[in-house]
Amino acid sequence: MILTIDVGNTSTACGLFDGEECVLRFRRSTNINSSSDEIGVFLRSVLRENGFDWQKITKIGCCSVVPAINHSLSRACAKYLDREPLFIQAGIKTGLKLRYSNPKEIGADLIAAAMGAVDLYAGKNLIIIDMGTAITAELVSKDKEFLGGVIMPGMKISVDALAGGTAKLTSVEIMKPEHVYGLSTTEAIQAGLYYGTAGALKEFCYQFKKNVFHGEDTLVIGTGGFARTFEDYKLFDEIIPGLVLSGVKVALDLN
């Protein structure tokens, strides 16, 4: 079995693969102060409580955008799962042509998502939108070229900024509002957040399809914690919650 780990700014997602099938997904909050023992005990206990034997794990792959936790995570895997993990970073095989001015700047999560998407949809132009703490949109050509992308504040960051930067606005639940405008302050914030984000992403996709892919068929893939929030809005052709985890598995297969 293969264990894949995706360390994000807010939460850490894990996927256990048996062959090509992801048989278990679980997550925990990302805490840069977590010790290797805390992480290791967590991993072992979740596997055990779900009926899986950690000793059957043959490979571990990690994708992290939080460098401060990488050492503890690496030691946890070695001590509690008896495997040294492979981290997605500069120098590993990706199967992609990185058309970035400085490839070392590309986030590990972006690389993993691109690898996972190309593995699933080979020969297609791709727009991959990851709706996590930050919202990222990355472009991958049908020739497996990583062309670049955009980064904007995520929905939770936007809510926190409103609550922290104003005297009377408070934090609200992130959800699709009942109306396109608010009948209360809470609803007004929710409507502004939801339709403002949807509008930005629609504009990005329009410009990408027109100016980057020049009208060619292009698949829009959504992933990340808030992607399902827009399922009814038809922003995405496909929503793949575990795309980064699948990409980490691809990296392990290549390396």
Active site residues: 109
**Residue 160: which of 183, 193, 137 has the closest Cα?**
193
CA 106/CA 121 separation, integer angstroms: 21
CA 128/CA 142 separation, integer angstroms: 13
Which residues, at least 6 apart from 23, have a Cβ–Cβ distance to it below 8 Å?
Answer: 1, 16, 17, 52
Q: Alpha carbon of 189 to those of 60, 130, 156, 175: distances in Å?
A: 41, 22, 12, 10
Here the tokens at position 92 are 């590993």
Residue 237 near residue 220, CB atoms below 8 Å: yes
CA 131 and chain centroid, separation: 7
* Angle in degrees, CA 59, 224, 143, rounded to 5: 75
CA 153/CA 65 separation, integer angstroms: 15
Of all helices (H) and strands (E), which one includes residue 187?
Answer: helix 185-211
* Angle in degrees, CA 223, 229, 232, rounded to 5: 105
